[in-house]
Each structure stands twice: as C-alpha cells, then as structure tokens.
Structure 1
Amino acid sequence: MRVSVSAQAVVFSLAFPFLTTAADDASYNASLPFRPNNVTLLHDPYYWVGSYYNGTTELKLMPYTGLAGNDSAQCPLLANTTTTARYDTILALTEPSIRNNGSDPVNAFLMLWDPGFDFSTITSFGWPLVDLPFLQWSYLSSQFVALPIPERLRHSPLPLQIQSQNWFYWELNTTTQSPPYRLSSTITTYYNGAGALRANMTNCTSTEIVPWLIDLGPWAPDNNFAYESEWPAMTVSMEFDGETANYTIRGYFDSYRIYSNGTSRSGGEITHGQFTLRFAGVLDAYHSDILANDTVTPTWLRTVGFNNNSLNIGYTGAAGRTMSAGSSVAAAFAALVLTQVVQLFL
C-alpha cells in the first residue's frame, strides 16, 4: 500500500514530536528531572530540567525595626540605619520529581555570588550546589541526596545530586491558567540557607565599616547557642514566566560582628532587625528548557539535550523533537504510530 506525500507528512508530524535525540544516553530516565548526558559542555548548576534566570539580588537590612526596635542589647550606632548589599545571582526553577517528599510545583534554587563573579569559571561536574566555587550563599527550597554518576562524569570526585527533603513548601496561585506563575510560602522551620551571608555595617564602638555575619530566619541562637524561635515566620513570594523572574524573601535577621581572626559571636556585638531580600532576573535561554505557556502548573518541554531549540547549549541543528515530563506513554504511542507508518511504506 502506498500513501501520498502529504499524508506521510501528517502522520510523521503526529509521531515525531514525541521522539528525542537523547537516544544515545542509555541511562536517560524521563521520570526524573535531569537533562540527558549527551550535552558534553553541560556543568553545574545546570543539570536539572527547568528555567534558569540571571540577575541581581539586593539584600536590605534595617536594624532596630519592627519587634527589634526596643532591644537595648544591640549596637546603638546601627539605630536608624539601612544597609544594602548586592550579589550576582542565578535562580534555578526546576521540575520536581518522584524524589521530592512533597507536592511542590517547582524546586527553587537561589544562588548568590559577589558582584562581578566570572561564571565561566564554574566548570566542575557533580558538585553539590552548596559547594559551587565562590558561592557566597544559597537558599534552596529542597535539599539533595546522591545520584550515581553517569559514564561521562565519572572523573568527578563528587556525585550528582537529586532533590529529596523539602525545606519549605510552595503554594501556587491557581487563579490564572498560564504564566506568569505566582507562588508563595511561609517559612517557620529552621533553615537559613547555606554558606556565609555577609554585609558591611558600622562597628559598635566606632564609625568604622566592618563585616557582619547575617542570619536570616525566624530562629536565632540564645546565649547557649541553642536555636529558638525569636521572630515571626519569614514570607517568600515568587513570580516567573518564560522571560523574567522575581523572588522576594522578607523577615527578621540576626547579625554578628566578624573579627579579623574569623570569629563572629564574641564581644557582645550583635544587632537585629527586619530585612528584604529581592531578586530580579532574566531568562538564560542557553541553559533553559521551554516553559509551556498554557498550563495551570509550571510545565517544561524538554529541550536541553534534545536538539530541538536553537538557543540551547549543545544544539547542533540536527532534527530534534520535544518531550515533556511524563511523556513515556506518548513515546510508546509514537513508536506504535511509527511502526504503522513503516508498514504503509511497504
């Protein structure tokens, strides 16, 4: 039996969108939120399916404000002052998976470096996100456990990661049926990020500007360094689409003077107050999958490693197809259709 060229085109257009160019990766598992291993230049922190945004984070510290306004134990020279620190930032919004222990619509990884950091120096494979070179501070909505190293990465001394326990849970505003997606959360558990968040503020005994260690969160150590709930819960909000992302954290902070010998909790120099941490960034299309624009919950069409988006890292121009998460059934259907197509040509 023979079919017309136009009919062949229609059948192939139905079948091929579910096929991928990641077939050379025998370990690829579409049920997990990872890119395939056929992109040889892919490195930290871009292993996850999702959107990546580059931008700046501004940390605004306001000592002696809110419930901390009458704390006489603070440094008096910091009263009525506002300090602002800025960081170069990558925000990764990634697809959750069966390894998450909640029902979050996304995993959010906020990673802060000092201004002017050269991101091209991050060429390691398989580092835990919290150990990325020169990373100052990170705030992750979920933590990680180890994943076996793919063949091409076995030279790395460290394993790849995969999401596990959630640090906090996102609530998705479902009043809209498409981007921009709006999410929020209230954080009451003890988690103040990873790394050492620092800012320069006035010394307690002079007008000298000195470094301070900043702890964000509702929990603070008492005199015996046992963490207790001292402040109200932090609030987190986020909005993103296929072009931009905004991420804001508000709450209270505790800070401790950092001395030349590296100690930070001595001498009685401490201050508290309110803070606002705000990120604004634009999409890094080179490292991002395509965010669908017609779904109630965030959904990505897998493109990095599938050779179907000319803006992506690793794109070579060969025929590629789009695969979304959970499309193994669709792929099986495509294989069946393709079998029928072959039979039509015989």
Structure 2
Amino acid sequence: QIRIRYNDDAVLDEDMRVLRQEWEETGYQLERLQMNPACADAEKAAIYDRIAPAYSLPFQPEPAPKALLTAKDKPKVAILRDEGSNSDREMSSAFYAAGFEPWDITMTDLLAGRITLDGFRGIAAVGGFSYADVPESAKGWAATILFNDRIKDMFTAFYNRPDTFTLGICNGCQLFGLLGWVPWQGLEAEAQPRFVHNDSGRFESRWATVRVQDSPAIMLQGMSELVFGIHVDHGEGKLHFPDAAVREKVVGQNLVPLVYTDDSGVATKQYPFNPNGSPDGFAGLCSPDGRHLALMPHPERAFLPWQCHWLPQEMQGLEVSPWLKMFRNAYDWCVK
C-alpha cells in the first residue's frame, strides 16, 4: 500500500500493484501491437502479484582448485562458432574456470583444413545468430556441416567417439536439433525434434527460472532439483515434436534435463515464465548416454554471481554460481 499525505489530508492511498499497472499501461498497449497479444496479456496478469522466485540449491557451488587452472596438461574443448555467433568469450571463460583448455575454433578453420576435431575431448557450440538466422535459426550453420562430406564425417566421428562430449547452447542447441544429435541419431527428418518460433512471436531476452531434472546428462550430474535463474535470449526456442511417439520416448528415458518453472519452481508452459511456449517447460534435450547436451538457456552467461540478474539474500555471498558445476562435471568426466 502506498500512502501520501499533505498536512492532514490523504492525497494518495492505493495498492502499489494497481499504481504499477497504471504506470505500465502505455507500454502494455504497445506490447500488444508488436507481439502475440495473448502473451502480453499473460505477462500483465503474472506481474500483478508476482512473488520472488523460489530458488533451491541442493549443493554448495565451489570454484575449481587453483591447481587445475595452472596445470600444463588440460583436456581441450573446442569452442565452436560460425559467422554471426556470440557468447564464445563467455563459453571459453566458463570452461577455463573449470580447468579446461578452451580453443577458439571457427567453421572456417575446419573447412580450410587448418585444424581438425581429433585432439579435442569436447565441443561447445555457442549461441548467437549464425548467418543472421536466415532462413531460420542455425540452418546455415547446419548446412556447412551436412553438405560437406569431409566435415560431416569429422563431426560424426567425433560424436561417436566414446571419450567425447558435446554441449550446444541456444543457437548451438538449435544446431544439434538440425544435425539430429539430440535426442538420438537416426530419426527421420519428419520426426526429428527441433526448435521453432516462440509463441510470443518475438525475440525473448529474459532472466528465467529453471529446474534441473534427473537425466543421464553428464554435465548435470549431482545437480538434480537445482532451481535457479538463467539467461534466455532467443527467437526460436520452442521445442517442437513432430512425432508424439518420440516425445513419449524422450520423457520415458528422462532425456529432458532442464525445464522452465514458475516462481514456485513448478515446470510451466505459462508465459513469461516459459519464454517460448515449449511443452511442459522443456528447455533442452540430452542423448541417452548423457554425452550430448543441448540447452536453449545460457548457463555460461551466469556461472559467476555478478552475472546473475537477481539472487535471494541468502545466496548473495556465493563465490561462484551453481552453473559452474556443469563445466566442472565435464572436466571430472574427462579426467576420470
């Protein structure tokens, strides 16, 4: 309640939520003109009496020992990018902070034969707007792999090596869908899950809340039931299953490692908590053996507390955010 008095006269005595909606009304009406009006309405309703997200931290996040960072013999990870990619610096930093030796690898490097994937234990395909997302997200990037026999064979061999892992984030996640790397290889194109335009009809850049679920994903082991904030930045993040049988198998095998949640930590399709409309809050997929992981949100942009848009009071003293554990898990898997 907001109360303003002038001398003995009550000038204002009103619910803050009502005043806030009055203040935001012009912006809300503009939003309805430039996006899916139903999503604008949903956000207005959600904001009215929204509570703080109920973060849950089932483990204590710890930085990597300094000895790992100064070691001479580190596992190598290829930070893979193409024309229009971004977040490669953040991805490199996250892997470096976990003990890896990150290498900046462009598709041009691979196409020109300047380097191969043979010496790497991991590939991290970064976010962004490869080829300006024309004609759709990651399609140009996928084409540079699928329509070059040498490059396609190189990636297939890497995928099938039992000592490798892959991580696709945002644009990289969309790439993995188009390559048929998640949930598993061998699906017909007509049945392959892929990421399509957000229900809102626009690009979404938000601080969302997600929950880690039980899955075989090696990078998320020991993180189940973590509920925490994360960056989302995408225009085509809605996970679409053309074949209901594939979705049923994915759910049955626990291949959905991350879901968007509401402020109570419950998986949701409701906008804006779910920024794209993915069914049951699905935020990514992994392979049955757990080595290949594709996520639309950006953990590499939130592995340090100062990168987080909001933290509850009790978590503001964290040295690192819980998302660093993803990258440390990958390191532990490589050196075990």
TM-score scaled by length of structure 2: 0.24
The structure with the greater share of residues assigned to helix is: 2
Structure-1-length-normalised TM-score = 0.23
Q: Which has the higher contact order (CA 8 A, sep 6+)?
A: 1
Larger Cα-atom Rg? 1
